[in-house]
Structure 1
Amino acid sequence: MTDERGSGRRGEIQSVYDEIAGHFSETRAYPWPEVEEFLASATGDLGLDLGCGNGRHTALLTEVTKTAVGVDVSRGLLGEAQTKMHDDDWTGALVQGDAAAIPLASGSVDVAVYVATLHHLPDRESRLESLRELDRVLAPDGRALVSTWSTAHDRFEAPADAETGFETTVDWTLPDGETVPRFYYIYAPTEFERDLDESGLAVTDSYVSSGNCYAELR
């Protein structure tokens, strides 16, 4: 994939989530159990929710860190997060930013959650760049949870022993029936671990749950 094509697709993802933000947020009311379990033993000064969407996991970070920052490329989703923060009475910082250029200082993040976002980045180099950025901002004793859609998901017809993933689009259907295509890169679990290793992040645990690849990192 050329840089031009990758850059264009990243812009498309921003536009798509700006368009569907309100309806998408309505379907994302509750945190994932895997995130709740990860954060149950977390603590620190600064928490990062990378690809925060409507802030459902940013809210959890405010309970275990002194300051929580939610970063997302979509202004529409950040607006939903702002509303959620007001309605649910929690306080955090919400910042528009690119997952491949995290707007935080190196070594500053004690706890990070990066779920259901990496798979939207349009080429391997941008995904690796994003993981390297996560490694850059993590404190020396920081911890992170990363997830992506997996070839093991029931939605996809992929071999159980697949070594590489694939690109696809998955439509989002708005209440009026309009469909909006969303780009995904679907990771094979072993491929996910290879990219994590190449990024410099240290994997302390990895598993597949509910059709998603997860990795706990330091």
Structure 2
Amino acid sequence: MPASDPNAGSDTDGEPSRAAVRRTYEDIGDHFSKTREYAWPEVEAFVDESSSAGTALDVGCGNGRHAELLAEVADRVVGLDASRALLQAATDRVGDSVTLLQGDATRLPLASESVGLAVYVATLHHLPSQAARRASLDELARVLAPGARALVSAWSTAHDRFDADPDADAGFDTTVDWTLPGGETVPRFYHIYTPAEFERDVADSDLRLVSMELSSGNCYGVVEPEGKRT
């Protein structure tokens, strides 16, 4: 697929396929990872406030910057990403301190109730359909152990980049260009959530929203598996 063709790999309804979204990050992964050196403060705060865990999970781990944080409080960390390019960057960064897997957020390759702590940040909004986004939330609920919590984030209409009503019922799909060093632009798919829609998608999944905040133009939700209490 030519990196500059936003329609290549689209589903029949005009949405890009998950494979097309993955190929975008194969194209930009090396350059993208170099611009994501530091962990987000919201993730740092969540991990700092979390109890130790046997197994922690980073869904959409990218270059491993948040998996590094999880390794400070967990015996074992699994980082999952769809992009081989980003996983290579993560390997270069974290070595063998994190188990890195290529996979799909809608079909997590982990046993049910095997994860004691998780982060799923800056990834949900790249899934190109509501069905896929909700399926990924259900998968997160499946792998979380009773009493375990996760931090989920998505880009929001509350960001001043978007001329949108943050109080609207539903968000919208868009593409945001990534510019490579040579000047080539690569469109990246995003679903921009309204806060209400983010809360609704979590509520309609097998997760329970423990708390939510808007920070740096993103929705951040602390979640736990619905019905799984210690």
Q: Is the 8 A contact 2:15 2:129 kept in 1?
A: no
Equivalent runs, 1:21-60 vs 2, <5 Å: 21-42=29-50, 43-60=52-69
Give the aligned partner of residue 63 of structure 1. 72
Equivalents in 2 of 1:6, 1:98: separation in Å? 21
Work out the CA distance in 2 between the residues paired with 1:127 and 1:72: 15
Deviation string, structure 1 residues 140-174 (Cα, Å, up to 9, x no partner): 11110000000011110001321110000000000
Does 2:87 match 1:92? no
1:110 aligns to 2:119 (yes or no): no
Deviation at 1:9, TM superposition (A): 2.0
Q: Any conservation in 2 of the 1:44–1:110 contact (CA below 8 Å)? A: yes
Identity level (%): 56
State how far apart, in whole Å, the 2-side matches of 1:6 and 1:146 are.
27
Residues 141 and 123 (structure 1), Cα distance of their counterparts in 2 relative to 1, 3 Å cut: same
Q: CA RMSD in A?
A: 1.5
Residue range with higher mean Cα deviation, 6-15 or 149-158: 6-15
Structure 2 unaligned regions, length at least 5: 1-9, 225-230
- The partner residue of 2:84 within 71, 75, 95 is 75
Shift of 1:8: 4.9
User: Aligned letter for 1:143?
Assistant: R
Detail structure 1 runs of 4+ shifted over 6 Å in the superposition. Answer: none
The one-letter code of the counterpart of 2:37 is: A
Higher fraction of helix: 1
Q: TM-score, normalised by structure 2?
A: 0.90
Decide whether the 8 Å contact of 2:150 with 2:222 is kept in 1.
yes
Q: In the alignment, is the contact (CA less than 8 A) between 1:119 and 1:184 conserved in 2?
A: yes
For 1:174 and 1:187, the matched residues in 2 are separated by: 26
Q: Alignment length, in residue pairs? A: 214
Are the counterparts in 1 of residues 56 and 77 from structure 2 also a CA contact under 8 Å? yes
**Counterpart-to-counterpart distance in 1, 2:193 and 2:134:** 13
